[in-house]
Amino acid sequence: MSGAERSYRIALLSFPKAYREERGDEIVATILEGGETRFPRLRELLGLFWAGIGQRGVKAGGERTAGSVRAGIRLGVFALFWLNLVAATPLLYWRIFPPLPISSDAPTVSPFDARYTYAWPVVGLLILLALSRGWWATPLAITCGWILLGFLVGEPWRETAWWPNSHWQWNVAAYKDSAFVLLLSLLVILARPRKGEPRDLRSPLWAVAALAWIALSVCTWHFGWSFVAHASSGLSPVTMYAHSGPTWLFTWFSLISVVAVVITWLLLGWRDLRLTIAVATLTTYACLDLAFPRRHADPYFTASFNFLVGEFLLLLMIALPIAIGLLGRRRVSS
């Protein structure tokens, strides 16, 4: 296989798997018949990529259907749960290598009850696995159970959100995050696939990827490369740096969100509404989070090189689950 052919086959990954297996050889043969070149032709590569995305849109159950809106919401919520699982990293780090390896102006962690540190990633992981299997009611059950547990151990609404970002503010924002998790859990139930729609299963490898990322950031942080962990914690939900942010930040972020949604729509149009809806779900959540600022500024995240690199990684990490989420396995329920 020549280098060019290999590139075309990589671009073929944008097609649904079943389609690729059936037609992939034929499509590549058609390109190669136009003359074997040493390097792949960019025009063909881009053409393949877009055709693949379009094919996914067709497969997702058609255009402009309520089904694709629901699929988009599920994708967005899945990405949010994934991001927030990854965001548990700094807490784990603190638990594994106390004290926090940060400057002296860092918040003291004394009021923080570490009993649940290991529970958060586990709960996040369970929810992620449940969603990948198509058990749409499980997140709601787990979240309600978690809140109930808070009441039982005498800490109602306090440190009871397993959503990791609240815990940097200890008990201030936990109730808000619990409310958001409840909201998302309800949303995913409302957006569950109806009879005859694809079941929208995703690979359990997503959970493995989150764990790998957490492990990577904890380890690299230990060696002083904190930007990976900066990105991880910033992932929940994009606004970690900005939770005490002024109004202009909210306005700015809302604007960027609208632009992101519009760009996605312009790129994919009606062919695949899922991605647009997924981006809208993600950004709406982040905007809502900003609309309810927390009371304390977090001195932990300061402008620095690490911050910038972290932010770049952050964008990458947001784009990744959405993009690869599209590669999730889908089966049509009988």
In whole angstroms, the minimum distance from the beta carbon of 106 to another protein comes to 51
Residues 149-208 that bind another protein (CB under 8 A): none
Q: Positive or negative, the Cα torsion across 18, 22, 28, 30?
A: negative
In whole angstroms, the minimum distance from the beta carbon of 323 to another protein comes to 18
Residue 58 vs 319, nearer CB to another protein:
58
Longest CA span, the chain: 73
Q: Is 269 in the site for another protein (CB under 8 A)?
A: no
Where does this chain touch another protein (CB under 8 A) — which range of 52-60, 121-129, 243-251, 291-299?
52-60
Q: Is 319 in the site for another protein (CB under 8 A)?
A: no
Residue 269 vs 299, nearer CB to another protein:
269
Distance CA 300, CA 276 (A): 33
In whole angstroms, the minimum distance from the beta carbon of 18 to another protein comes to 13
Residue 28 vs 242, nearer CB to another protein:
28
Residue 26 vs 105, nearer CB to another protein:
26
Indicate which single residue of 46, 258, 316, 332 sits in contact with another protein (rule: CB under 8 A). Answer: 46
SS3 of 198, please? strand
Indicate which single residue of 38, 39, 43, 105 sits in contact with another protein (rule: CB under 8 A). Answer: 43
In whole angstroms, the minimum distance from the beta carbon of 15 to another protein comes to 9
Q: Is 47 in the site for another protein (CB under 8 A)?
A: yes
User: How many chain residues touch another protein (CB under 8 A)?
Assistant: 23
Residue 43 vs 195, nearer CB to another protein:
43
Residues 57-86 that bind another protein (CB under 8 A): 58
- Residue 198 pairs in a beta bridge with 332
Where does this chain touch another protein (CB under 8 A) — which range of 54-62, 159-167, 171-179, 259-267?
54-62
Question: Please, are residues 11 and 45 in contact by the beta-carbon 8 Å criterion?
Answer: yes
Q: Is 49 in the site for another protein (CB under 8 A)?
A: yes
DSSP class of 7: H
SS3 of 62, please? coil
- Residue 186 pairs in a beta bridge with none
In whole angstroms, the minimum distance from the beta carbon of 52 to another protein comes to 7
DSSP H/E element including 121: helix 119-133
Per the listing, tokens 């009441």 go with: 151
Residue 30 vs 333, nearer CB to another protein:
30
Residue 141 vs 323, nearer CB to another protein:
323
Share in percent of the chain as helix, strand, coil (round to 5): 65, 0, 35
- Residue 332 pairs in a beta bridge with 198
In whole angstroms, the minimum distance from the beta carbon of 22 to another protein comes to 10
Q: Is 51 in the site for another protein (CB under 8 A)?
A: yes
Candidates 168, 169, 151; CA nearest to 160 is: 151
**With 0-12 CB in 10 A as exposed, 13-18 as middle and 19+ as buried, what is 196?**
exposed
**SS3 annotation, 202-259:** CCCHHHHHHHHHHHHHHHHHHCCCCHHHHHHHHCCCCCHHHCCCCHHHHHHHHHHHHH
Question: Please, are residues 20 and 13 in contact by the beta-carbon 8 Å criterion?
Answer: yes
Supply φ then ψ for residue 269, to 5 degrees. Answer: 55, -145
Residues 11-40 vs another protein: string with x where CB under 8 A?
------------x-xxxxxxxxxx------
- Residues at the contact surface with another protein, assessed by CB under 8 A: 23, 25-34, 43-44, 46-52, 54-55, 58
